[in-house]
Structure formats: structure tokens, C-alpha cells
Amino acid sequence: MRYAIFDLDGTIVDSMIYWRSFEKEFLREMGIDEKEMKLSKNDWIGSDWVEALCDFFNKNYNFDFHLTPEKFHQWGIEFMMRKYANDVDFKPGAHQLLDTLKEQGVKMCVCSSTDRSIMEPVLQKYDLDKYFQFTVHCREYGVEKNDPQVFRYCMERLGAENPAEVAVFEDAAYSISTAKAAGFYTVGMYDVTEKNADKVKENADQYVTDYADLDLSKLPK
């Protein structure tokens, strides 16, 4: 294999459990006992879920401050940066796989929906930049991973000419479906927070729970 595009969260590092537990973690830090947590995502699903969530919290809990989307967003950034620095570890076999691919001269990049500034602590902790030619961040680029344009952009920067030459490593159903439909070779990594794991398996050329089980001989030549 010559080229690989990796997602970070849930694919290289085991961080999605923290991204998916924002609401409980915030209430826990505010001193709310878990038994008293009134959480139903149906109450804040909408076009601006952060604003709806803040309204829900303000109505249901007696904070000594008014929670705004700006305050919650800043809290979320600081929370994840702490988790990246102190608690987040590699997905099974990920560190060894990156070492192997680097030794083989594979050109690799990260394509993530997480901003570079937020993931910086985990990049530094594990010296991840040594594996990758560059990192691409969807919000900065302007396209999320439900659009194949971002994968094609990564492909071209890596030097590949055809999606079939490139392996895309993902844990999320929507992004691996996008990559598969665009002609990329796809590797699905199991993540406990992905509710559409069947879709990941369906669209993955290989699906693993541990990269030690990945058949390297089947990756693009």
C-alpha cells in the first residue's frame, strides 16, 4: 500500500466515548448526581442542538449562572483537551499499525472533523505527526465527510491519482459510506459508540476490532 487516510477519533485513538458523553460529563462537573440527570436527546434535537441543550439545562437545573452556547462550547473544548492529554489511548493495534505502515513508506494523513487545536494534546502525547504528511480538518476545509470532496482533496495532497489506490480508515458509518461510494478502499474500525456498526461493516472492505487482525496483503497495491 502506498497511501492511507485516517480518521482520528474512534479510529486511531479511543476518544469517541468522551465526545458522546458531553452532557453527562458537564452535569457531573456541575455537581449533579447521575440519578438526578434529566437527559433526553429528543428535548434538544434540532438545527442548533447546543442552544437547545443549554435551554434544556437552564430550565431543569439551578445553576448559579446562565449557561450559554458559548460557555458550553468553551467547556467542551477544555474537557476534550484534558481527556486527550490524560485519558485517551490508542485503539487496539493502532500504534503498531502506524509503525508498520511508516516503516513500509506509506504516505499517510489524518482527515478529521475535530479541529487541530483541540486534538493537539493527543498528537503531542503520542508524537503522531511523525506518521503523517499533514492533517486536514473538516471545519477549516469547509466540507464534512458526507461529501467525498474532502477525501479526494486528501488523496491529491498525498500524491495518489485514483481512489482505489488509497485506503480510508474510519469508524463512523456516514464517512465510510462516503469513502466507499467514491471508490476508496475502506477499513472499518469497531467503536462502541457507533450505533450503525452494521453500516460500517457493510461498506468496509475489511472490518476489525483490533488492527492486529487486519490483512495487510489485501490493502491496495
Helical H runs in 42-148? 49-60, 69-86, 94-103, 116-125, 138-141
Distances (CA, A) of 144 to 7, 22, 86, 212: 12, 21, 28, 29
Span of 19-33, 63-77, 101-115 with lowest mean pLDDT: 19-33
Range 152-168 average pLDDT? 97
Across-strand partners of 4?
108, 167
User: Is the model more confident about 153 or about 58?
Assistant: 153
* Reported confidence tier of residue 63, pLDDT bands at 50, 70, 90: confident
- Asked if the model's pLDDT at residue 201 lies above 90, the reply is yes
> What confidence category does residue 39 fall into, taking pLDDT thresholds of 50, 70 and 90?
low
Nearest to 187 by CA among 198, 176, 195, 197: 176
- Per-residue pLDDT of 176-193, as tens digits, reads 999 999 999 999 999 999
**Is the predicted pLDDT of residue 55 greater than 60, yes or no?**
yes
Quick one: cell of 54?
443549554
Query: What's residue 46's pLDDT?
Result: 45
Contacts of residue 183, defined as CB under 8 A and 6 or more positions apart, other chains included, come to 162, 163, 164
* pLDDT recorded at residue 57: 85
CATH 1.20.1090.10 fits 3-14+89-218, yes or no: no
C-alpha cell at 78: 477544555
- Is the sign of the CA dihedral 35, 38, 39, 42 positive or negative? positive
List CB contacts of 174: < 8 A, sequence separation 6 or more.
145, 146, 196
Count of residues making up the chain:
221
CB 19 within 8 A of CB 11: no
Alpha carbon 52 to chain centroid, angstroms: 23
Q: For residue 33, name the pLDDT band (cuts at 50, 70, 90).
A: confident
Looking at every residue in the chain, the average pLDDT score rounds to 91
Percent composition of the chain: helix, strand, coil (DSSP 3-state, to 5): 50, 15, 35
Residue 40: its pLDDT value, please? Answer: 55
Does residue 45 register a pLDDT over 50? no
Provide the pLDDT for residue 38.
62
- Nearest CA-CA partner of 66 in 78, 74, 81, 54: 54
pLDDT tens, 78-95?
A: 999 999 999 999 999 999
